[in-house]
Amino acid sequence: MEYLFYTLAAVALISGALVVFQTHPLRSALWLIVNFFAVAGLYLLAHAEFIAAIQIIVYAGAIMVLFLFVIMLLNLRQPEEELARPRLGLKIAGITLAVISAVLLGMGFAKVVIKPVTEMPVGLGNTESVARLLFTDYLLPFEVTSVLLLVAIVGSVVLAKAKLR
Amino acid sequence: MVVPVNYYLGLSLALFTLGAIGVLIRRNILIILMCIEMMLNAVNLAFIGFADAFKAVDGQIFVFFVMTVAAAEVAVGLALVIAIYRNRATVYVDDLNILKW
């Protein structure tokens, strides 16, 4: 089963790199879908079946459709953005900064010793256990989430309406 | 569990770094939004790894909430992109310098 993890991790990393270094946003979006599917596979490996299904439905389905829709709405006739820009120094500085902070964080993570729980509870990660926790301990955040979604709906409708006054 | 939780953390860190690099070096606002999605995904992966290590469902609940916030953020963000494009006819962030001092 380990090689499955390595394969999915490689797919996720390669498609993630392709998202960043594509010139056209449409291709980035398509590679991002591949990335989401690989991450969903990793969720499955970690016994999070419900979250994996939600990942595919919400991320790879709804969010990416929204992205593709907006890209095709806006960007059809724009010239492709070229990667070789005069501000190459700034880009190299950005990449270096990100990589250095990642290496430092990774050195911290490598020192972390986590004693994993070995006994397997019944039905970890299936819809029933997630729902039981969601509607008991996390009921208030769940209801607040619905308010957040309402705000997002109203906000996006107002913002995308005819004229921004 | 298939692999130790440190592997999940490392992969999550790598994905987050990729997303951060994308946010830092790209000019297209749509690609920047996608990279933010990728960073949120990396954080979700760390949550799931820990949930698997501790055999607790709480981490998965948090992933659920992160996904909800990400969906709301994308909806509002793309509406903003459309509004900006309508006003300025650009999707490149260095053309949006009206707040620059």
Residue A79 Rama label (left phi>0; alpha psi -120 to 50; beta):
beta
Percent of chain A with pLDDT over 70: 88
Rounded to the nearest 10 degrees, the angle between the axes of helix A2-20 and helix B29-54 is: 160
Residue A107 CB: number of other CB atoms within 10 A? 9
Burial (CB count within 10 angstroms: exposed 0-12, middle 13-18, buried 19+), residue A79: exposed
Contact between residue B76 and residue A156 where contact means Cβ atoms under 8 Å apart:
yes
Question: Which of B16, B23, B55, B60 should be substituted to probe chain A, the one whose Cβ sees the most A Cβ atoms within 10 Å?
Answer: B60
SS3 assignment for B37-77: HHHHHHHHHHHHHHHHHHCCCHHHHHHHHHHHHHHHHHHHH
pLDDT of residue A82: 57
For residue A58, which residues of chain B lie inside 8 Å, CB to CB?
67, 71
Residue-wise pLDDT for A86-97, tens only, equals 677 877 888 888
Q: Check pLDDT > 80 for residue A121.
A: no
CATH number of the B5-90 domain: 1.10.287.3510
Average pLDDT, chain B: 88
Residue-wise pLDDT for A52-90, tens only, equals 999 999 988 889 999 999 888 886 555 555 555 567 787
Q: Which of A73-87, A124-138, B65-79 has the lowest mean pLDDT?
A: A73-87
The answer to whether the CB atoms of B25 and A94 lie below 8 A apart is yes
Percent of chain B with pLDDT over 90: 48
This prediction's pTM = 0.87
* Rounded average pLDDT over B42-57: 90
ipTM of the complex: 0.91
Q: Which of A19-23, A111-115, B54-58 has the lowest mean pLDDT?
A: A111-115
Question: Which of B29, B34, B54, B65 should be substituted to probe chain A, the one whose Cβ sees the most A Cβ atoms within 10 Å?
Answer: B34
* Rounded average pLDDT over A108-136: 79
